[in-house]
Homo-oligomer: A and B are copies of this chain.
């Protein structure tokens, strides 16, 4: 049964948002088209009225995940001083809540490993997302223009690396690595 244009747009957004979460939880390959459609309250066949291939969905969902993550980061910088925003971001990134809920967390930590083996189009989208986060984070760092960006890049690398390690390790190791990263002095 056909559905109105407005209804279709809403369906499309629902598919992308559900996929953005499911991909971060299960990985790019393990989240199937049927899973994604079920998540949106639909059946698998309708998928191809919205995307030509699964790869097209992956790109849209990755971009949506980055957008969500980026907006949350940006809003920190609107509410606090740059240094406090950066510190708050780190505290949240290294929290148990973030470690335990990849579906709603940073796509860098959740999907970096998968994107490394994906298409160039996905890598491009990933790189763009990484750059946006670094640019936002740089405002909370010390030093000159260049040094701010370098510090922000190192900060993101450490945050994503620590979260990935924590999620991939036994609880004791996870706890120790996150604790070590939380205790690092600010801005350096």
CA–CA, A176 to B150, complex, Å? Answer: 8
Closest to A94 in B: B157
User: B27–A154 contact, CB under 8 A?
Assistant: no
List residues of chain B with CB within 8 A of the CB of A108.
161, 165
- Total interface residues on A, CB under 8 Å, equals 54
CA–CA, A109 to B79, complex, Å? Answer: 34
User: B30–A150 contact, CB under 8 A?
Assistant: no
Given the contacts A29-B30, A113-B112, A180-B149, A158 and B165 also touching, CB distance less than 8 Å: no
Binding site for B on A (CB under 8 A): 26-27, 29-30, 102, 108-118, 120, 123-124, 126-128, 130-131, 134, 149-151, 153-154, 156-162, 164-165, 167-170, 172-174, 176-177, 179-181, 183-184, 188
